[in-house]
Amino acid sequence: MEAIVLYPSPAIGHLVTMVELGKLILTTRPPNSISIHILITTPPYRVDDTASYIASVSFDSIIFHHLPAISLPPCATSSVPAHETLICDVLRLSNPNVHNSLLSIIDKNYKIQSFVMDIFCSPALSVVTKLNIPGYFLFTSGAACLACALYLPTIHKTIDKSIKDLNTLPTIPGSPPIRSSDMPKPLRDRLFSKEQLKEIALGLERSGHRFLWVVRNPPNSQNGQTVDLTVQAGPDLESLRLVVKMWAPQVAVLNHDSVGGFVTHCGWNSVLEAVFNRVVLVEEIKIALPMDDSKDGFVSAAEVEKRVTELMNSDSMEGNSIRARAKDIQIEARAALSESGTSRVALTRLLKSWNQS
């Protein structure tokens, strides 16, 4: 039987993306003609529980392979490395386990058509190359983000300080100049401060609208530090709020009819999921209201309250305009994913090339 192997990085958002890709591939093939094999690594710190999600994937043709846990060498310093660093170390040291898993799949008379890996799993490319298995990267962010990622080695060679300490970056081919404050968090080594989180909480509560907030503790907070989000605006607002300190099914939440807006850091998965479900969020494509911040990037509770109120009120001219624009983009997004849409056609063309290899 033909097989496709998918290799996500440990975070559940990356796992969900790979599983959804596997499901989509299966819809393009006759039943029982191909199987999807997903390799699962275990990070060296506590992450959102993936076991319950994996158990909920009810596809007979999707098979999960749990790689053995990796023991990392002791840290050279007393500080705990960033979780991105730990993940990269785990994935690099997992190459022998990846190799053994692929051989195990082959020994069961599967012919591996392709090996699709998360961008963080690049060390595995050397493994599949030695086994003569075609390797592909799944990059789920936009083209500008890819241009930035490809240019990072050049930046590291030409700049002698941390990106977080820069006010501007050199011009990146394929992308406009980017302020360091706009760069993704892993590149800046920064998290929201407790003060900023409390300002967001206060602003949401003062808006008077019901809200669901997913906020997680820092991944490497083994020292017991947690995020404390106490109600600041009085017990009468307690029924309006729900704070979830773990992974939440974002697609299902955004697809709910009662969701009228989305306050987000604008990760690309969040952008696409919101667009597909007609939830307003992003300023640049005119489906959002921006949050104005101070010079140090701090957003006040008053600003959060103002923007949420402006977005949710039905008599807001700007809010209504944004909602109408979001509906138009939703139609375009769903058309791209339809049977004859551009996204489905591109995927079909890719899968045909795998069949011919």
pLDDT in tens, the chain (357 residues): 899 999 999 888 889 899 999 999 998 888 888 999 999 998 766 655 677 788 888 788 999 999 998 887 776 445 566 667 788 888 999 999 999 999 999 999 999 999 999 988 999 999 999 999 999 999 988 887 888 888 888 888 887 777 666 666 667 887 776 665 555 544 444 466 777 777 777 887 777 777 777 776 655 544 444 555 554 444 444 555 666 666 666 777 777 777 777 766 555 565 565 555 555 554 444 556 666 666 566 778 888 788 778 777 777 787 788 778 878 888 888 898 888 999 999 999 999 998 876
> What's the CATH fold of domain 2-140?
Rossmann fold (3.40.50)
Report the predicted TM-score, pTM, of the whole model to 2 decimal places. Answer: 0.69
pLDDT score of 77: 47
DSSP letters, 171-204, are PPTTS----GGGS-HHHHT----HHHHHHHHHHH
**One fold for 2-140 and 194-336:** yes
pLDDT score of 238: 54
Of 106, 119, 107, 185, whose CA–CA distance to 146 is shortest? Answer: 119
pLDDT score of 349: 92
Kindly list the domain boundaries of the chain, sorted by start residue: 2-140, 144-188, 194-336
> What's the CATH fold of domain 194-336?
Rossmann fold (3.40.50)
Of 123, 131, 71, 70, whose CA–CA distance to 100 is shortest? Answer: 131
pLDDT score of 191: 62
Judged on CB neighbours under 10 Å (0-12, 13-18, 19+), 46 is exposed
pLDDT score of 220: 52
Judged on CB neighbours under 10 Å (0-12, 13-18, 19+), 232 is middle
